[in-house]
Amino acid sequence: MEKTQIMKAKNVKEYFPIRKGIFSTVKDYVKAVDNVNFFIKKGETFGLVGESGCGKTTLGRTLIQLIPPTNGTVYFMGNNLSDISKSELRKLRLHMQIVFQDPSSSLNPRMTVKQIIGEPIKINSKLKNEEITQKVLLLLKTVGLDEQHMYRFPHEFSGGQKQRIGIARALALNPDFIVLDEPTSALDVSVQAKILNLFKDLQKKFNLTYLFITHDLSVIKYISDRVAVMYAGKIVELSPTKELFKKQLHPYTIALLCCIPIPDPKIKKEFIVIKGEVPSLINPPSGCKFHPRCPKRMPKCKEIEPELIEINNEHFVACHLYP
Amino acid sequence: MIRKRETKTQELIRRFKYNKSAVFGLILILILVFLAIFADFIAPNDPTPSPPELENSLKPGFWSEDGIEGSPLGTDMLGRCILSRIIYGARISLSVGFVAVGIALALGIIIGVTAGYFGKWVDSLLMRIVDIIFSFPALLLAIVIVATIGQGLDKAMIAIGIVYSPQMARVMRSSVLYIKEMEYIEAQKAIGSKNLRIIFRHVIPNSLAPVIVYSTLMMASAILDAAALGFLGLGAQPPTPEWGAMLSESRLYIVTGAWWAATFPGIAIIIAVLGLNLLGDGLRDILDPRLKT
């Protein structure tokens, strides 16, 4: 593993068993993440897009070991996370944090802001109460809140402010890598922009690496350096953001990106409508998982599953149309 | 900080005040609590005079011309003042409610949290045990337990507590299942909290509301069941002035015309149960997180 790579996923699978019957025998699996390979460079923002239920949130959780992967390996800062001892994993895990989608359910309603942000510090250090208070105050200021918010409860804040508290909590342990799981989806547009800018500032200040999960393509375009497009538990295309928005290769990505509205009424756009339904993750289609809905499908798409291969410089795609 | 906490409590009190029936229930319960605490000063007579004043046996109360003086609700077959016995009985019934439900709460929370939080086979195992206890009629099981560990009011309380704990465990488990999927629990795992800390600091405090509501409702049934055990002679032993036991002792005399000896303890039971039910319903409306936005 190269030094520039902070995280690397190798053949990562996350299957959730479906149990049925009185003996809870495993009847089938939900293949939420199916054989995913990629790496994240230190200091970059790696975007992960896909429609609802394609497994992008699960992938984020799997990478930081909130749900250990069913199969495959995750490397973090040079360590194989499935191969190290529990205590080492505990320590390493503190370098990986997460900011959640729904700010109202990600904060304990019975704790004050100081307790919420102070808790990670309290658990992982032997600092005295006053020192923790000082640290919390500093964190609050970093995310654009101040002293007066310290002793309030989460229900007294707006969505954007709650999200800031969630960010402060994630920052409390000085992490290197943060999974941002649709952190702006629950916020209105004006607040979204502020939070996105906060992420950018924090990244510069603390030298953070982000995995940014979202279904909002304009957000991805704004914030990420590289993007992976997920479909039915697989990465179908992976490329630097600029390149991807200039030239998409996978038919799914093409259809996805043409949906971004352009704020100009004179431009007439042709919409490619993807027909059919999102495939079931329990019984995904054979071969390429997109083939039942693909406008350009060929006979072999049904038979053989395409591999993720590099077409151009750092532009990967999993499709039989290429090379 | 303190100001904010108060406003939250004040908000709850305000919402409680709007709920007329809950306030009524609370008043009934407060009256009973008051009677129980100050029974020594309020009760006009000794509830268990010894030796019994048999010459006063089954005398009617204030409604009758030959009513006995000093005992407004009449006397029972041993000449004991029914009003005094009911007032002292409040002590017993309320403590039965609290102790039995306390036992049920403690057991139920432990079982419910363990099953709900750890899930998988722990959950299956505990819930199957709970199902087994559930499949017996509550009173029958209580009788079996009392028969095993011996008679008496204290044993009856333990029996009722054990019989009720599965219901409490179910309520707690469902509440825990809901809370454990919250993202703040996941955040705790990300910051390195250990399971015990997550359970005690985050899961239990947030899953208690439904359990607390349920326990007020359960207290009413506990009082009823204790009365039923008393009625069957398995709970409070004579001469303890327990409402159910009083009812049981006096029921034979209804046919002889002495209806008051059995009626008034029955009314006391109704008042206590009604008060607790109204209070419980009101509390549910106020505390249930799913009704609150």
Tens of pLDDT, residue by residue over B220-278, are 888 888 888 887 878 777 788 888 888 888 888 888 888 888 888 889 988 988 898 88
Q: Which residues of B touch A105 (CB under 8 A)?
A: 182-184
Among residues B18, B33, B1, the alpha carbon closest in space to that of B276 is found at: B33
Q: What is the ipTM of this complex?
A: 0.79
Take residue B14 and report the two structure tokens written for it.
């305000």
Task: Say if the Cβ atoms of B190 and A98 lie within 8 Å.
Answer: yes
- The answer to whether A94 contacts chain B (CB < 8 Å) is yes
Of the candidates A24, A61, A124, the beta carbon closest to that of B192 is on: A124
B86-100 pLDDT per residue, tens: 999 888 888 888 899
Chain B positions in Cβ-Cβ contact with residue A153 (cut-off 8 Å) = 4, 8
Question: Quick one: pLDDT at residue B172?
Answer: 93
Domain boundaries, chain A: 5-95+175-317
Which of A94, A108, A156 lies nearest to residue B202, judging by beta carbons?
A: A108
CB-nearest to A151 from B4, B188, B202 is B4
Question: What architecture (CATH level 2) is domain A5-95+175-317?
Answer: 3-Layer(aba) Sandwich (3.40)
CB contact under 8 A, A123 and B1: no
- Residue A14: partners with Cβ closer than 8 Å, 6 or more residues away: A31, A32, A33, A55, A58, A59, A62, A67, A69, A70
Residue B143 reports pLDDT greater than 70: yes
Say if the Cβ atoms of B191 and A119 lie within 8 Å.
Answer: yes
- Inform me whether the C-beta atom of residue A305 falls under 8 Å from chain B C-beta atoms: no
- CB within 8 Å of B257: residues ≥ 6 apart: none
Asked if A64's CB is within 8 angstroms of B190's CB, the reply is yes
Is the pLDDT at B114 greater than 90? The verdict is: yes
Domains, in order of start, for chain B: 94-240+266-287 (1.10.3720.10)
Instruction: Output the six-digit token pair for B187.
Output: 């955040």
- Spatial neighbors of B152 by CB under 8 A, at least 6 apart, are B235, B236, B237
Per-10-residue mean pLDDT, chain A, length 323: 77 85 78 87 89 85 86 86 84 88 85 88 86 89 87 85 90 90 86 89 90 88 90 88 86 81 72 74 84 83 84 85 77
A100 touches chain B (CB under 8 A): yes
Query: pTM value?
Result: 0.78
**Res B28: pLDDT:** 92
Of residues B250 and B27, more confidence is placed in B27
Is there a contact between A257 and A217 (Cβ–Cβ < 8 Å)? yes
- Residue B175 in contact with residue B115, Cβ under 8 Å? no
Kindly list the distances between the CA atom of residue A187 and the CA atoms of A46, A166, A194, in Å, as whole numbers in the listed order: 21, 13, 10
CB atoms B192 and A90 under 8 Å: yes
Among chain A residues, the shortest Cα distance to B179 is held by: A105
3-state SS, residue B116: helix
